[in-house]
Amino acid sequence: MTVDPSSRPLLVHMTSLGCPKNRVDSERLLGRLGETVTATEDMAAADLVCINTCGFIEPAVEESLRCIIEAAQVLAEVEPRPLFAVAGCLVGRYGQAQLAPDLPEVDLWLDLKEMDRWPALVAQALARRTATPPPVLREHRRLSTAPTAYLKISEGCNHGCSFCTIPSIRGRLSSRSPEELVHEARAMLAQGARELVIVGQDVTAYGKDAGLAYGLPDLLARLLELPGLDWLRLMYLYPAGITRELLGFIASAGPRLLPYFDMPLQHAHPAVLKAMGRPFAQDPRRVVDSIRAVLPQAALRTSLIVGFPGEGEAEFQALQDFVENTRFQHLGVFAYCAEEGTPAAELPGQVPPAEREARREILMARQKEISRELLETHVGEEMDVLVEAVSPEWPGLHLGRVWLQAPEVDGVTYVSGEGVQPGAMVRARIEDAKEYDLVALA
């Protein structure tokens, strides 16, 4: 069904916090609210103000609460006031009953347990507020990141890492059907996407809950058949799930399936990994070696936690040695946060916050040098650049990425020259390398 094109646009101010998986949820909500939905940056002019929150760690909780409070202050001066909705992980973690008394300005709380009903709940609330018929819902997703699109293949996680709140917020692993995912991917390519980024809490576990015979490789094979797809990228690969079979498939799948591995190793010392509840506590070097044995050209990204309970000088030195010897293309380092309700918060040997931050800075300082050294090896090469946007820094300059740079989390490639425009894939020569970025000329 479609909406009468003469009807007034539904103005929506959407803020999506946290990871790309949240962005997917926001895009689905916007798309399903109907064809008249129009995004607006002006909160006061909106019919709907929605904040899709993150609640994974304490800094994310604080950011979400700050964003809600700031929006409430703006909306207090607006008449008539837009519908104010709050969705996502903050609601999933604490629940409406705990949040609502302190945030009475929020009109509608959207819990993760009711994600399929979010569009209907919003439509009903809008209809009650304006005394008009609710928007006509449709099965659609409004892509906001072209020429890149995130494809969330599953929800939840079955792992029991001692520091993590995700299973309690998002629940256990629930995989979407291959047919549904191929249908959604085809629709996003039709909206201008050229790169699909596969995301989930644990991408390597895809299909295990549903008894799918071939799981991730079968899904990837179906996606690679879609016309219009230039790059297919995998994110959130749980290290224990990077098997010989998966590596063999990636190696034989062709250039569109990028040899890019985003795997959260979290640490390198066996005692710390064991305390974290990680299933490969003996030696994470084995998964790195297995990847490089099959795909020596692979770009590796990981995330590490410093200052975990029990991490002394020897354990931290082992982590430094691991970073030095492995030489990741991309590395994120996070100071440990003791999250309420997690087993790790009760462990002995808690590291002082100042020491956690100091260790984070040490690792990031070395990684900055490693990143530049690795990027410098590409100077002089001809590489494909996916152009994303006009750079605000200089006329004629654009922001893009080469295959070894994932959207939002890695560096960018500054590119200029013939045929360079947003949405284009251009062949360019790498002219220079910065600490995290490349400079190219088409």
CA distance linking residue 312 with residue 350, whole number of Å: 10
| Token code pair at residue 128 | 């009650």
| Helix or strand (DSSP H, E) at 50 | strand 48-53
Q: 122-126: long-range contacts (C-beta < 8 A, 24 or more apart)?
A: 122/29, 122/33, 122/48, 122/50, 122/83, 122/85, 123/33, 125/83, 125/85, 126/10, 126/47, 126/48, 126/83
Beta-bridge partner residues of 441: 416, 429
**DSSP of 342-401, one letter per residue?**
SGGGG-S-PPPHHHHHHHHHHHHHHHHHHHHHHHHTTTT-EEEEEEEEE-SSSTT-EEEE
* Residue 337 known to bind ligand: no
* Residue 157 known to bind ligand: yes
CA distance linking residue 189 with residue 193, whole number of Å: 5
CA distance linking residue 410 with residue 404, whole number of Å: 9
CB 55 within 8 A of CB 92: yes
- Can you tell me whether residue 38 is helix, strand or coil? strand
| Helix or strand (DSSP H, E) at 439 | strand 438-441
Q: Is 317 buried (19+), middle (13-18) or exposed (0-12) by CB count in 10 A?
A: exposed
Which residue's structure tokens are 């490789």? 217
* Residue 67 known to bind ligand: no
CB 202 within 8 A of CB 157: yes
Which residue's structure tokens are 């039709």? 190
Q: Return the beta strands (E) in 64-115 as ranges.
A: 83-88, 108-110
Residues 6+ apart with CB under 8 A from 66: none
* Residue 19 known to bind ligand: yes
CB 43 within 8 A of CB 75: yes
Q: Which residues are annotated as a binding site?
A: 19, 54, 89, 157, 161, 164
Q: Which residues are annotated as a binding site for [4Fe-4S] cluster?
A: 19, 54, 89, 157, 161, 164
